């Protein structure tokens, strides 16, 4: 039932059930209610596809800036258990065996410098992902704005992970060398491979750290996206407030 049908029924009902004075009062109240509803309707912003696309890109850029700032600081990865980079799964037996031999510091140093490499390289992600956001189509943006809480993050990861990996790998390699992670990792592997009667291993550290670093970054971006969708105070621009308030209204109808 539309609001206009409602007022018609209300008007007819009033006409047949009250005296003239009461009818006049009720008709005035009904008219005032209708006017207020009309004003409310008029106050709902008109959203264009450009608005939605712009808002989404602003939301993602905000999320990226916040996320990169978080993970690129000292201990940004290391002290965050959700994204901390451990030994590669196929090298877990290395860690366990070396720890059993009392070589905890050797293992801890390797983990420390692996995470330092990710923290140092994280700043490289900002311009790369920002460019990917600029390339997003309006159609993609419309679907994402109306999607689930991490729709944009999923879209970004699916469509950019491979290209980001290729761009992100070189700074990871440089960073691993810069913080001596490669040296520590080699020490760990070499020490393990000298143990008698074990199967030698040598996981690709550059590939592993790059993938884990990107996974961690996207986890943090998803958190920022969820925050912007759920918390009005996090909508730091007028466009964000306008579009996501509209999405909220559509959801609540």
pLDDT tens for the chain, residues 1 to 253 = 555 444 444 444 544 444 556 555 655 655 665 565 554 444 445 667 787 778 778 878 878 888 989 999 999 999 999 999 988 877 777 788 888 888 888 888 888 988 988 898 888 778 878 888 888 888 888 788 778 888 889 988 887 788 778 877 888 888 777 766 677 777 777 777 787 877 776 667 788 888 999 999 999 999 988 887 776 555 556 666 776 666 666 555 5
* pLDDT at 80 (0 to 100): 96
| C-beta atoms surrounding 9 within 10 Å | 11
| Judgement on whether residues 173 and 93 belong to the same structural domain of the protein | yes
| Judgement on whether residues 26 and 138 belong to the same structural domain of the protein | no
| Judgement on whether residues 124 and 247 belong to the same structural domain of the protein | yes
How many domains, the chain?
Answer: 2
Helices (H), 73-149: 92-100, 104-121, 125-134, 138-145
Maximal CA-CA distance, the chain: 105
* pLDDT at 29 (0 to 100): 54
- Which residue do the tokens 């539309």 mark? 2
| Judgement on whether residues 86 and 178 belong to the same structural domain of the protein | yes
The range of the structural domain enclosing residue 70 comes to 49-252
Burial call 63-87: b when 16+ CB within 10 Å, e when fewer: bbebbbebbbeeebbbeeeebbbeb
| Judgement on whether residues 233 and 165 belong to the same structural domain of the protein | yes
| Judgement on whether residues 33 and 150 belong to the same structural domain of the protein | no
> What is the token pair recorded at 187?
């020490």
| Judgement on whether residues 75 and 167 belong to the same structural domain of the protein | yes
Number of alpha helices (DSSP H) and beta strands (DSSP E) in the chain:
11, 0
| Judgement on whether residues 88 and 171 belong to the same structural domain of the protein | yes
- pTM of this structure: 0.68
| Judgement on whether residues 57 and 30 belong to the same structural domain of the protein | no
């Amino acid at each position: 039932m539309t609001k206009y049908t409602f007022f018609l029924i209300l008007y007819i009902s009033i006409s047949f059930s009250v005296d003239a004075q009461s009818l006049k009062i009720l008709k005035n109240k009904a008219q005032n209610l209708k006017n207020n509803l009309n004003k409310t309707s008029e106050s709902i912003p008109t959203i264009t596809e450009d608005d939605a696309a712009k808002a989404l890109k602003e939301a993602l850029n905000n999320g990226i800036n916040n996320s990169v700032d978080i993970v690129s600081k000292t201990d940004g990865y290391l002290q965050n258990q959700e994204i901390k980079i451990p030994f590669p799964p196929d090298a877990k037996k290395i860690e366990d065996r070396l720890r059993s031999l009392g070589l905890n510091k050797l293992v801890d140093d390797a983990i420390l410098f692996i995470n330092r490499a990710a923290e140092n390289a994280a700043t490289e992600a900002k311009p790369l992902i920002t460019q990917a956001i600029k390339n997003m189509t309006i159609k993609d943006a419309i679907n994402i704005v109306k999607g689930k809480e991490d729709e944009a993050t999923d879209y970004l990861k699916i469509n950019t992970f491979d290209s980001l990996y290729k761009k992100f790998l070189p700074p990871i390699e440089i960073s691993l060398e810069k913080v001596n992670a490669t040296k520590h990792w080699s020490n760990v592997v070499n020490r393990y491979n000298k143990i008698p009667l074990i199967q030698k291993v040598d996981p690709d550290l550059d590939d592993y750290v790059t993938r884990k670093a990107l996974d961690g970054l996207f986890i943090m971006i998803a958190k920022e996206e969820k925050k912007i969708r759920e918390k009005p105070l996090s909508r730091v621009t007028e466009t964000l407030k306008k579009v996501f308030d509209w999405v909220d209204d559509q959801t609540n109808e």
